[in-house]
Amino acid sequence: TKAFTEILIKGLDAVAESKFSIVTFGRYAKLDIGLSDADDALRTVDEIDYSGGWTNTQDAILKCREELKNAPDGHLKFLVIVTDGAPTNNKRDKPNGNSCTGCYNQAVSEAELAKEDDVQVIAVGVGSVSFDKKLLTDIASEESLVFEVSDYDELQMKIDEVNQAANICVDDEPRQEPTLSPTLFPTMSQTENPTKCPRDECGVCNGPGKIPCCNGIKVCNVEDCPVSSKPVSVCIALDESGSVCSKGQPNQCDKLADGISSNQCDYENNCPRFNIDTKAFTEILIKGLDAVAESKFSIVTFGRYAKLDIGLSDADDALRTVDEIDYSGGWTNTQDAILKCREELKNAPDGHLKFLVIVTDGAPTNNKRDKPNGNSCTGCYNQAVSEAELAKEDDVQVIAVGVGSVSFDKKLLTDIASEESLVFEVSDYDELQMKIDEVNQAANICVDDEPRQEPTLSPTLFPTKSPTE
């Protein structure tokens, strides 16, 4: 839910002057932040703690309606409600979990008041155990503003449609209720000035932008790349250890995998550093490479132990796997992650270049004997480096992406990468996407090129004095 909300805010803020307010609701509704700039709204979303409780839909709509009265002049007003659809509390605070007709009717009435205030109501329904599609249809401004998914992990599949519903061109009017009778005399000619859809640099309506070719240029159509890319098999190892989501100290989430939480572990906010930033980086990397080359992808996650989430597969299967990963916490078994990637890359198709991309904050804390050490684990470090060397001997190019979290270790990244130019650093997880083009380019090799090799350690003793013919 948070990821959906954050992407929606960022998407609308990128194209329009905008203000955002956040209301959460359980037994009662709470105005978490009034109409504010996107950055403040995003911080608020990130800090929300899940409450549980009954479902007071009418109070949520009421609080949104009242807050939207403060919208700046000239702003269109939208209310986007994300819910599983069944109101169970009412104005009198008399919850009823079975069939609360009063709760339902109050929610619909409150939505009608919002529409009378020129608020467009968009209803996003999740097919959970108490899903109620009829409510969504009754509270939305029109049926086309009802969006459904079967489960919460599918919410992001609808983000483009919801964004488009609230992204109105200057020459357009927001949606109105359709007339009940057809137009008697439709015009047969085209609209003289049709509204233009927001287009990317390639002219694609709401498109993703240009695709990077192996030689560094970007094109709108992969067929326009002057040189073809070599086929690749890529194993992506994602650090989901406790340090990724710890606050202030590196080991606050180390026992999360054992069911022991901590108020210094950002798990209650669903660990946005992993579930939003790391996943988004991984998904963009997969899509970028798959667009230009024959490719296979494998995903390994690692905390105290490493897990092969999916073997070498097509991009679509790998993307689904990334989306379904649950953050675990725990210690950091870097060597086991590299081992699992190395073993899986032995299954790469003939002719594929092999890459291992590891995303980590850099400090190994577990070893082959499963003897974790959170202070200074020299054995853990050495085993990770040794495993990376074995991968390189198997013709695997190791790319290390390091995040400056509470336990950052740049030296490890340099030691495990195939060369220093294949080390990429960011200061925090929310900056990962800033490096996506560079990482993509490192694994996007032209047909006539050779992958990077380690330089020779000594100069040629007797260089030729004449140029090569």
Task: For residue range 217-239, list pLDDT tens digits in order.
Answer: 888 887 888 888 899 999 999 98
Q: Return the minimum-mean-pLDDT range out of 66-75, 251-260, 288-297, 385-394.
A: 251-260
Which phi and psi angles does 340 have, rounded to 5°?
Answer: -65, -40
Q: According to the 3-state scheme, what is the secondary structure of the chain?
A: CHHHHHHHHHHHHHHCCCCEEEEEECCCEEEEEEEECHHHHHHHHHHCCCCCCCCCHHHHHHHHHHHHCCCCCCCCEEEEEEECCCCCCCCCCCCCCCCCHHHHHHHHHHHHHHHHCCEEEEEEEECCCCCCHHHHHHHCCCHHHEEEECCHHHHHHHHHHHHHHCCCCCCCCCCCCCCCCCCCCCCCCCCCCCCCCCECCCCCECCCCCEECCCCCEECCHHHCCCCECCEEEEEEEECCHHHHECCCCCCCCCHHHCCCCCCEHHHHCCHHHHHHHHHHHHHHHHHHHHHCCEEEEEEEECCCEEEEEEEECHHHHHHHHHHCCCCCCCCCHHHHHHHHHHHHCCCCCCCEEEEEEEECCCCCCCCCCCCCCCCCHHHHHHHHHHHHHHHHCCEEEEEEEECCCCCCHHHHHHHCCCHHHEEEECCHHHHHHHHHHHHHHCCCECCCCCCCCCCCCCCCCCCCCCCC
Highest mean pLDDT among 105-109, 159-163, 180-184: 105-109
Residue 340 confidence (pLDDT): 97
Share of the chain above pLDDT 70, in %: 72
Return the structure tokens found at 359: 């995303």
In whole angstroms, give the CA distance from residue 301 to residue 310.
10
Give the global pTM: 0.53
- The tens digit of pLDDT for each residue in 58-75 reads 999 999 999 999 999 989
Q: Which of 70-74, 183-187, 277-281, 348-352 has the lowest mean pLDDT?
A: 183-187
Provide the pLDDT for residue 62.
93
Is residue 309 over pLDDT 90? Answer: yes
Write out the two tokens for 136.
Answer: 């969504």
Angle between helices 334-345 and 378-393 (to 10 degrees): 10
Say whether pLDDT at 193 is over 80.
Answer: no
Q: Is the pLDDT of residue 454 over 80?
A: no
Q: What is the pLDDT of residues 410-440, one digit of tens each?
A: 888 999 999 999 998 877 666 676 777 888 8
Residues 6+ apart with CB under 8 A from 431: none
Please tell me the predicted confidence (pLDDT) of residue 129.
53
- How does pLDDT run across 80-113, given as a tens digit for each residue? 998 876 788 888 777 776 667 888 888 888 999 9
- Mean pLDDT score across all residues of the chain: 78
